Amino acid sequence: MMTKNDKERFNKRIGGEVQISADIRVSDFMTEGAAYVTITESTESSLYERVCQYALQHGEDLQGMFKDEKYEYMSCFVCNVAAFRANFENEETLKPLFNHGKGDTVEFVISVPEKRVED
């Protein structure tokens, strides 16, 4: 579960998109993304809100993870794969996360923009 401070930080996110990866284990201490999906608030606002709420309730270990040309992202981990699947497997947009065929998913990583990248 996220701490109170983590939840406050997550709630200050820049709205608009959420990225989700299905991670598989590649060694005893390492995972890697097997499938990736981006959900935009403008085209799928209901799913966007559901995923963000799920991350707030069930996400763990909120941390800065990566950046692209526009944003720095914060990410949390959802380790209860079965519960996430039960909540979202019928969503067409998320099907690649459950049907990647690259091995057993050990966690989902949910990432949201935290701040804009300075030029």
The pTM of the full predicted model, rounded to 2 decimals, is 0.93
Write the DSSP string, 18-41.
Answer: EEEEEEEEEETTEEEEEEEEEEET
For residue range 60-106, what is the model confidence (pLDDT) as tens digits? 999 998 999 999 999 999 999 999 999 999 999 999 999 999 999 99
What would the mean pLDDT of 11-35 be, rounded to a whole number? 95
Query: Would you call 100 exposed, middle or buried from its count of C-beta atoms within 10 A (0-12, 13-18, 19+)?
Result: middle
Closest C-alpha among 103, 91, 101 to residue 54: 91
Tell me the pLDDT of the chain averaged across its residues.
95
pLDDT number for residue 118: 82
Supply 61's token pair.
């270990």
Instruction: Give the integer Cα–Cα distance in Å for 74 and 111.
Output: 6
Closest C-alpha among 12, 114, 10 to residue 60: 10
Domain boundaries, the chain: 4-116
pLDDT number for residue 119: 63
pLDDT surpasses 70 at 13: yes
| C-alpha separations of 111 from 7, 16, 90, 101, 117 in Å | 14, 12, 21, 22, 16
pLDDT surpasses 90 at 10: yes
pLDDT number for residue 86: 98
**Maximum Cα–Cα distance for the chain, whole Å?**
41
